[in-house]
Amino acid sequence: MRAEHPKLAAGLAALGIDVRSGTSLSELTSLGIGGTTDLLRITKHDSIPDLIELLEHHNIPYKFLGGGSNLLVGDGELPWVILQLAKPDPEIVLEGNFAHVDAAADLGRTVTFCAKHDLGGMEGLIGVPGTVGGALRMNAGAYGMQIGSYVREVKLYRAAERKIEILKGNQISFEYRHTSFGPDDMMLAVTLELPSKPFKEILQGIRICNEKRRSSQPLGQKSAGCIFKNPLGASAGRMIDELGLKGLSVGDAKVSDRHANFFVNAGHASAKDMLALISDVRGRVENAFGVKLENEVVVWNA
Ligand code: EPU
């Protein structure tokens, strides 16, 4: 989808939107898969309601991209433009135990920045790729913690209200890899309340989580993390492994040899390959265990 109409282009320029034509989503996603479209980079949160109105006026569908680390995007020319927040400077402002963080901030850098200021709690998230906004929307978690536990306030564009709003932490429900945000809501900024801990102690926790992750996950390869959610009381990775499916592939899309719930792009996998692999594995697990695995990865397919 191209944002080419001269009136649209003028409107975008007036809103300070940086247009990057013909961007390949394979360059913006950790899976390295995805077709081409125009990327609109937002420099001011306040421009979002007008931007959405402008796009709708010109019948341009859009999707909002975070860090692209939990996302499988379809192939070819994509039928929507992509909106993404540009990173502000600074991305994080600390105030006592509160960290005010822009949604575009890198999650790992946020964890280490807070740690250096003796604010802990998020050690488990070290090594989870992506932005703070993406982690917030999905309620990212690992090693017994989830980001939702620390959220005190969220600034977001509420698609249903067509305006920017501030929600208190207790107005949002955070469940396992699920939140009460609307599907089209855009995370803009968050205030986290983090426990005080000495840097050295946080560093120790970070090292342990890093080591666990390194020993069990295919970190150097292109992936979107876990493909399926864990069913209640079970592990998707263990079930896939028990069926002997590590290494199973469709084209260059492959079940990781290291962790069976990670599917990697071992070369030039297409979305079609990856979707076929997901469907094949889901079918085999359902036949063997009677459990229909639900996607953890977000799929944007035309
Ligand atoms: N297991 C196997 N074979 C495998 C993979 C796992 O037997 O190929 C076994 C492990 O030995 C372990 C159990 O399955 O006994 C659980 O495995 P693991 O500790 O790796 O955790 P997981 O449930 O597979 C979850 C999250 C990860 C997160 C880790 C660590 C989900 C879907 N996955 O994985 O999150 O990093 O715990 O806390 O909830 C993600 O969200 O993308 C993600 C990778």
Closest Cα to atom 43 of ligand 1? 226
The finding on whether 204 has its CB within 6 A of some atom of ligand 1 is no
Closest Cα to atom 20 of ligand 1? 216
Residue 285 alpha carbon to ligand 1 centre in Å = 16
Residue 237 alpha carbon to ligand 1 centre in Å = 6
What is the number of the ligand 1 atom nearest to the C-alpha of 140? 41
Residue 297 alpha carbon to ligand 1 centre in Å = 14
How confident is the model at residue 5, as a pLDDT?
Answer: 86
Closest CA to 51 of 83, 21, 80: 83
How confident is the model at residue 271, as a pLDDT?
Answer: 98
Query: Splitting the chain (302 residues) into consecutive groups of 10 residues, what average pLDDT does each group show?
Result: 87 96 97 98 97 96 96 97 95 98 97 97 95 96 95 96 96 96 96 98 96 95 97 97 98 98 98 98 98 97 82
Residue 255 alpha carbon to ligand 1 centre in Å = 14
How confident is the model at residue 23, as a pLDDT?
Answer: 98
How confident is the model at residue 302, as a pLDDT?
Answer: 72
How confident is the model at residue 84, as a pLDDT?
Answer: 97
Closest Cα to atom 28 of ligand 1? 142
